[in-house]
Amino acid sequence: MAILEYVSLQPHNTFGVEACARYFCRVATKDHLVNIIVEELQYHNKYLIIGGGSNILFCSDYDGLVIHNEIKGIDVVKEDEEFVWVKALSGTTWHNLVLYCVEKNWGGIENLSLIPGTAGAAPIQNIGAYGAELKDRFESLEAIDMNTGEERIFQNTDCRFGYRQSIFKNELKGKYFIYSITLKLSKHPIINTQYGDIRNILMEKEITNPTIRDVSDAVICIRSSKLPNPAEIGNAGSFFKNPEVTEDRAKSLYTVYPDMPVFAQPNGMVKIPAAWLIEQCGWKGKQIGHTGNHARQALVIVNYGNASGVEIWQHAQNVQRSVKEKFGIILEPEVNVV
């Protein structure tokens, strides 16, 4: 249970930026984690839990203890005729969990294929893509209190899920270590192809009766064609959330920009794709220094090789400013800036 000193965080963030952790440890079991909490945390002024590092931008060195989650495993905890309850330990790579379930024909998370990160990070921002969100399949999670080392169960409603939101990003930010998540998946899956791009691919392949594997393959195909692979070009997926505006505001923007895509929300608000706003400001495919906006998805900010976290963050703020000037809309980062 060694606590290491001055460890590079470059391999631990998908932006691939350089930052140094003053202290660093890996945890591979629950006992190990509890031991760190009870024995070690008192000696550190702050701590940061990281999984895949796929939603984080380091703008400076980290002057505390970085805890790297390596607690992995997948297990079935319950099943009946209709459903299977699958528990994944939090350090499990999310996409491996998806592939495992697709292989068994357990439906519900196939639309979330290829999302980077770990299973434990998934509930924190209620990951979502291609017409599905984690919260629709999420049953419960086990968390460890970072003050006491005690365990606590959070049911779905306790997590207060919203669009890229949960209690773990708000009131309870940094207070709990998510140890495992349990999902309720269907043994007789209903395919979700509401997202046009998925339907188009299935049509192209002349698949009329798709399985969840077909859907998963289609999502992998869309993501690979639009989103840069972090192993090749550093990035953290969408940098900003899609903003919501009032219907009145959307209408007045619409009169000026009749091409603006709009998505009416159940709460009466209107969601506008951040990617579109950014593209209208001329950022799509633009490289400035070592950073820029990806040519196939304007919402993805990339590291072309040697960008620092500060450079990327300054660029993101320039993008934010220009969208505010042109549209009067403030883009909120989806990525955690540390």
Establish whether 334 is a catalytic residue: yes
Contact 289, 268 (CB under 8 A): no
For ligand EPU, give the closer residue by CB, 261 or 328: 261
Establish whether 296 is a catalytic residue: no
Q: What is the three-class DSSP state of 240?
A: strand
Nearest to 149 by CA among 176, 173, 169: 176
Within the chain, strands assigned E span 4-8, 20-27, 47-50, 56-57, 62-69, 74-79, 83-89, 128-129, 132-133, 138-145, 151-155, 176-186, 234-238, 244-245, 263-264, 270-271, 287-288, 291-293, 300-303, 336-337
The reply to whether 241 sits near ligand EPU by the rule CB under 6 A is: yes
- The per-residue b/e assignment along 98-110, b for 16 or more CB within 10 angstroms, e otherwise, is bbebbeebbbbbb
The reply to whether 64 sits near ligand EPU by the rule CB under 6 A is: no
Establish whether 238 is a catalytic residue: yes
Which residue stretch of 34-42, 95-103, 150-158, 297-305 sits at the interface with ligand EPU (rule: CB under 6 A)? 297-305
The reply to whether 95 sits near ligand EPU by the rule CB under 6 A is: no
250 to 269, contacts with ligand EPU by CB under 6 A?
261
CB of 328 to ligand EPU, least distance (A): 18
Rounded Cα gap, residues 254 and 259, in angstroms: 8
The reply to whether 327 sits near ligand EPU by the rule CB under 6 A is: no
Catalytic residue among 137, 164, 180, 308: 164
Nearest to 181 by CA among 235, 122, 232: 122
Choose which of 143, 146, 299, 319 interacts with ligand EPU (CB under 6 A).
Answer: 299
For ligand EPU, give the closer residue by CB, 20 or 220: 220
The reply to whether 242 sits near ligand EPU by the rule CB under 6 A is: yes
Q: Mask: binding to ligand EPU, 205-234, rule CB under 6 A, as x and -?
A: ------------------------------
- Residue corresponding to tokens 């934010």: 320
Q: What is the three-class DSSP state of 114?
A: coil
The reply to whether 238 sits near ligand EPU by the rule CB under 6 A is: yes
Contact 151, 142 (CB under 8 A): yes
270 to 289, contacts with ligand EPU by CB under 6 A?
273, 275-276, 279, 284
The reply to whether 156 sits near ligand EPU by the rule CB under 6 A is: no
For ligand EPU, give the closer residue by CB, 14 or 90: 14
Q: Mask: binding to ligand EPU, 8-47, rule CB under 6 A, as x and -?
A: ----------------------------------------
The reply to whether 130 sits near ligand EPU by the rule CB under 6 A is: yes
Choose which of 13, 69, 216, 297 interacts with ligand EPU (CB under 6 A).
Answer: 297
Choose which of 52, 237, 292, 333 interacts with ligand EPU (CB under 6 A).
Answer: 237
Rounded Cα gap, residues 10 and 19, in angstroms: 6
Cβ burial of 133 (10 Å; 0-12, 13-18, 19+) is middle
Residues that bind ligand EPU (CB under 6 A): 129-130, 237-238, 241-242, 261, 273, 275-276, 279, 284, 297-299, 334
Q: Looking at the annotation, which residues are catalytic?
A: 164, 238, 334
